Amino acid sequence: MRLGWDTFQKLRDLPFPTTAMVNGFCMGGGVELALACRYRVALDDPKTRFALPEVMLGIMPAWHGMQWLPKLVGPAAALDMILTGKSVDAKRAKRMGLVDAGGAAAHPREHRAHGDAGGDTPRRSCRLFRSS
């Protein structure tokens, strides 16, 4: 327990910006890890979900989730997640302040259609974020 607490605190205290990039399920310790980062970016996809399901087993989010979540999203939204274990999608997470930005993934076929073989260096830049 102490190791997780200390590790997440060290991540939060780093002297440079940190970013959590979320694609898919972000639950339990994953949410707390994302909370330790300065910025959180989530893939705008129905499969991207945030939750603290451990509370349904009587386990509290003890790696700073109880402290950092209410400061980030407000007490009402935090209590809803902490007391019920309900999940939220990326769009709702952005609206409530859990996520700083949401992005659309570029499909790998887009690169092949433009002559990119899918190597490490794309020939054209992909647009990650949708304009609001």
CA-to-CA separations, 100 to 21, 43, 44, 62, 77, in angstroms, rounded: 10, 11, 12, 23, 16
The C-alpha atoms of residue 85 and residue 128 are separated, in whole angstroms, by 30
Predicted confidence (pLDDT) per residue in 5-22, tens digit: 788 888 888 999 999 999
Question: What CATH class has 2-113?
Answer: alpha beta
**What pLDDT is attached to residue 105?**
63
Q: CA 19, 22, 27: angle at the middle one, nearest 5?
A: 110
* Domain extent listing, the chain: 2-113
| Dihedral sign from CA coordinates of 104, 15, 25, 113 | positive
- Which has more pLDDT, 118 or 66? 66
Looking at the chain, how many residues does it have?
A: 132
| Dihedral sign from CA coordinates of 57, 86, 64, 12 | positive
Is the pLDDT reported for residue 126 higher than 60? no
Predicted confidence (pLDDT) per residue in 19-67, tens digit: 999 999 999 989 999 999 999 999 988 899 999 999 989 888 878 888 8
| pTM greater than 0.85 (yes/no) | no
